[in-house]
């Protein structure tokens, strides 16, 4: 009958047993436990096979110089936009502001860190304002994303100079696929520029709110001060974002393999100690050589 080597004790001591024996059964079971237990522990302690990861990236945000404003005044509604068709249809209520834009790249990495936008109107009886500005929002490190996205501000005015401080933050409802160009939302927010209905703010915001990806202003502070004419200033920071994405097969396998090996080393050591005790103390019948 052929004997298989099941265990060795150095120097050069081997423990053998027939294929059909209790010792062989113990050998097979102990090896199986050594291989399976690390996987079971890794699986039930969660995050063994990851479906979602995240990384940080500061988006590249470019102001597209497209704006639309509606103001409630003592004289009725006033309006202005950078869209010529809208302005043509709004001649009776048009109020044109002076616009100042300053983009600052404080760390010289080629990306805007702070945007200062100021609009000043030659009116002094504004009671409320709705303001929409359009930006291009891009990611490129792991996930490739380009989309057109709005910044919307609505304020009830008590004093005629309004300053808003906030961050342009990403709303992400689902994880992105890495290294895949996401350009679904890289379309104009004004879908049909020659239709007045396309400029309705409620419709634009409703469309954007249904996206998987959008932006909003996370307002930190707002300040109002008396002034002889109405002005709206926005100090907008572009912070680093935490981007969620779906890892590919090899990236998920790498993470799972690291977890498995870390547990396998411990399991291997413990099972080997048990095997040594069983074979060296002849708890199962073997032939020592």
Residue 20 structure tokens: 């059909």
Residues of the chain with pLDDT under 50: none
What integer pLDDT is reported at residue 184 of this predicted model?
A: 94
The pLDDT value recorded for residue 75 is 86
Q: Order the strands of the 114-120 sheet from edge to edge.
A: 98-104, 114-120, 231-237, 161-172, 213-225
pLDDT for residue 5: 73
Residue 267 sits at φ, ψ, to 5 deg, of -60, -40
Closest CA to 247 of 184, 182, 176, 181: 176
User: What is the bridge-based pairing of β-strands 144-156 and 126-139?
Assistant: antiparallel
Q: What is the pLDDT of residue 18?
A: 85
Nearest in space to 59 (alpha carbons), one of 9, 112, 20: 112
**In this predicted structure, what is the pLDDT of residue 11?**
63
* Residue 143 CB partners (closer than 8 Å, separation 6+): 176, 177, 178, 179, 180, 182, 243, 245
Pick the closest to residue 79 from 102, 57, 96 (CA basis). 96
**Which tens digits make up the pLDDT trace of 63-109?**
999 999 999 998 889 999 999 999 998 999 999 999 999 999 999 99
H helix and E strand count, the chain: 4, 15
Cα angle 86, 69, 199; round to 5: 40
CA atoms within 13 A on the CB side of 134: 22
Cα 61 from Cα 17, distance rounded (Å): 71
Q: What is the pLDDT of residue 195?
A: 87
Q: Which of 257, 253, 260, 273 lies closest to 41 in space, CA to CA? A: 260
Tell me which residue of 131, 133, 165 sits closest to 62, measured CA to CA: 133
pLDDT at res. 205: 94
Q: Give the model's pLDDT for residue 10.
A: 60
What's the pLDDT at 3? 78
């Amino acid at each position: 009958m052929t004997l298989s080597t099941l265990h060795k004790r150095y120097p050069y001591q081997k423990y053998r047993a027939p294929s059909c024996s209790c010792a062989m059964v113990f050998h097979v079971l102990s090896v199986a436990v050594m291989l399976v237990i690390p996987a079971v522990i890794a699986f039930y302690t969660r995050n063994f096979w990851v479906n979602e990861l995240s990384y940080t990236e500061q988006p590249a945000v470019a102001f597209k110089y497209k704006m639309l404003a509606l103001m409630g005044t003592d004289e009725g509604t006033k309006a202005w936009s950078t869209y010529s068709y809208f302005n043509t249809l709004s001649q009776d209520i048009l109020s044109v502001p002076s616009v100042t834009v300053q983009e600052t790249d404080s760390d010289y990495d080629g990306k805007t860190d702070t945007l200062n936008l100021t609009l000043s109107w030659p009116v002094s009886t504004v009671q409320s304002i709705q303001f929409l500005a359009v930006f291009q929002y891009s990611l490129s490190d792991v996930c490739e994303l380009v989309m057109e996205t709005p910044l919307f501000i609505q304020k009830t005015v008590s004093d005629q100079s309004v300053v808003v401080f906030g961050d342009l933050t990403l709303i992400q409802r689902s994880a992105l696929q890495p290294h895949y160009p996401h350009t679904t939302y890289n379309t104009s927010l004004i879908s049909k520029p020659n239709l007045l209905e396309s400029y309705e703010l409620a419709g634009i915001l409703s469309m954007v709110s249904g996206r998987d990806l959008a932006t909003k202003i996370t307002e930190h502070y707002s300040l109002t001060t008396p002034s002889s004419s109405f002005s709206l200033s926005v100090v907008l920071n572009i912070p680093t974002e935490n981007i969620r994405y779906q890892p590919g097969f090899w990236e998920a396998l790498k993470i799972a393999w690291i977890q498995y090996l870390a547990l396998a080393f411990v399991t291997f050591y413990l099972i080997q100690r048990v095997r040594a005790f069983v074979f060296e103390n002849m708890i199962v019948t073997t032939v020592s050589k």
